[in-house]
Amino acid sequence: MSIPEVKGWCPGAYKPMMSGDGLVVRIRPFASELSAQQAFSVANAAREFGSGFIDLTNRANLQIRGVQEDNYAPLMAALAAADLLDADEHSEAKRNIILTPFREDGDISHRLYTQLVNEFSGFPDFPKKFGFVIDCGDDCVLSDVSGDIRIERGHDDTLIVRAAGADTGVEVDETNAVAVVKELTDWFVSNRPNDVRRMSKLLEHIGLPEKFQGVSPKLSSASEKSLKMLWAPFGQIQADSLSALVQQSPNCAIRITPWRAIFLDADIQPEISGLESDAEAAILDVSACAGSPYCPQATVETRALAASLAGRWPVSLHVSGCSKGCAKPSASEVTLVGQNGQFNLVRNGAAWDDALYTHLSENALFDLDLI
């Protein structure tokens, strides 16, 4: 089996990634929010310059797929006109922040996000996938979302800055939180070997200074606002669905969440083709990457198969085109991994783990009893 190529970086707008259907151009909306006009601009750009499909990523970003190289320059012009670009590639790469979607404009989470963005010019260069999480609301909803440095609530509702991989963080207040984030970033950059790109991996090798520890984080909790989300099966929507969402809710800002869903703080949730309002829908228990022919790493088609298998077994399911496991970099009860046009099946593991069954045809999958 050929080993999939791990890029070590994510695409951006200034640095797109070539895929099987063309360039993948990632958009990082400021504060993960689109105005109605910006949402229309993204939908129009996806139709005019891409394949008409838009990915919602687990970093609360958007991706326009299928951009041919001669369409890249006009696409960038359209994104710039919609105020969806950073000043340059360097600024874009640093602004790798996940902000709680359940914030209010001007609340402490929003203020800290703005302050962090404004202070990034003084931060050291850090790896492309190194990122930050801001989750300072009454409900802590981002505990399971990957990040390297977190600003969140402590168990006593104080504000803390915590390194990923550490059980506790240091108490801060709004006036010094970003300064402590910078100090912790400085420590990471100064101490990491070249092959270590994430905070939790570094903490496997060296101890975190005590000054960055001491206060346990607040336990994760559910938010009633999660009932106002619209879910994108496999994290992908059509441009027409995004346009329809804006047309039905023209006065509502759209927030992109790290759960491959859209949060719309509206009194009435619209019914949009291609978006699920029922968080318990079987298809939402299934993860699937773009697969073949859209990804050059994949040897199997993924999403039609995943849709056919949704609800067939009472388990969480991940269909991965290769062993990288991009759609879900963690364990599922069943993970199907493409290999040379067939599938390996992993139980209670990730795409790169040892398989229970190997060399399964697509038809063979439907004969399996996994209850």
Going from the C-alpha of 190 to that of each of 184, 196, 221, the distances in angstroms are 10, 12, 35
Question: To the nearest whole number, what is the mean pLDDT of the chain?
Answer: 92
- Do 130 and 201 reside in the same domain of the chain? yes
- Do 286 and 207 reside in the same domain of the chain? no
- Do 357 and 333 reside in the same domain of the chain? yes
pLDDT in tens, 117-142: 999 999 999 998 999 999 999 989 99
pLDDT in tens, 331-351: 999 999 999 999 999 999 999
User: What value does the mean pLDDT take over residues 235-239?
Assistant: 93
In this structure, of 54-63, 230-239, 289-298, 351-360, the range with the lowest mean pLDDT score is: 289-298
What global pTM score does this model have?
A: 0.86
11 falls within a domain: no
- Do 62 and 22 reside in the same domain of the chain? yes
6 falls within a domain: no
CB atoms within 10 A of CB 362: 16
Residue 6 has pLDDT above 90, yes or no: no
- Do 53 and 129 reside in the same domain of the chain? no
pLDDT of residue 4: 42
- Do 260 and 288 reside in the same domain of the chain? no
pLDDT of residue 253: 86
- Do 123 and 182 reside in the same domain of the chain? yes
Q: Which residues of 109-142 are buried (b: 16+ CB within 10 A; e: fewer)?
A: bbbbbeebbeebeeeeebbbbbbbbbbbbebbbb
Which CATH number do you get for residue 79?
Answer: 3.90.480.10
Residue 43 has pLDDT above 80, yes or no: yes
Residue 354's domain comprises 282-365
27 falls within a domain: yes
pLDDT of residue 222: 80
pLDDT of residue 252: 87
Structurally, the chain folds into a number of domains equal to 3
pLDDT-derived band at 8, boundaries 50, 70, 90: low
- Do 156 and 136 reside in the same domain of the chain? yes
- Do 300 and 207 reside in the same domain of the chain? no
- Do 251 and 160 reside in the same domain of the chain? no
DSSP string, 91-147: HHHH--EEE-TT--TTSHHHHHHHHHHHHGGGSPP--TT--EEEE-SSS---TTS--
pLDDT of residue 9: 54
pLDDT-derived band at 300, boundaries 50, 70, 90: very high
